[in-house]
Amino acid sequence: DAGVIQSPRHEVTEMGQEVTLRCKPISGHDYLFWYRQTMMRGLELLIYFNNNVPIDDSGMPEDRFSAKMPNASFSTLKIQPSEPRDSAVYFCASSLQTTYGYTFGSGTRLTVV
């Protein structure tokens, strides 16, 4: 298995633009997590899915953020409109359980100017 695949690796966009981050989890993993990492706040859980269904989105900072998982092999995190404070590294992870066995992708470094 190629692991968890995220795209793009880097994204630079202007304030106000729509940004879409993509994730392909490991086949067979029931859980998918989106995390955001910054120096100030560390690694924060944004949302997670179980069998393609969103379970907890309380970590999504604002209505500008939305996430979908249309099937077991694909998920997106969308920010519309983007703001400079959204600049961070966004990680996707998948697992068979919620409490162990996480496999992380390499992340998307988002810069909003």
Partner 1 sequence: KQEVTQIPAALSVPEGENLVLNCSFTDSAIYNLQWFRQDPGKGLTSLLLIQSSQREQTSGRLNASLDKSSGRSTLYIAASQPGDSATYLCAVGISGNTPLVFGKGTRLSVIA
Question: Which residues sit at the interface with partner 1, rule CB under 8 A?
Answer: 4, 31, 33, 35, 41-43, 45, 48, 56, 91, 93, 97-102, 104-107
Closer to partner 1 by CB, 34 or 112: give it: 34
What is the smallest separation between the CB atom of 31 and partner 1, expressed in angstroms? 8
What is the smallest separation between the CB atom of 81 and partner 1, expressed in angstroms? 27
Closer to partner 1 by CB, 4 or 88: give it: 4
- On the question of a cis peptide bond just before residue 8, with omega within 30 degrees of 0, the verdict is yes
What is the smallest separation between the CB atom of 73 and partner 1, expressed in angstroms? 18
- On the question of a cis peptide bond just before residue 81, with omega within 30 degrees of 0, the verdict is yes
CB burial readout 45-74, b (16+ within 10 A) else e: ebbbbeeeebeeeeebeeeebebebeebee
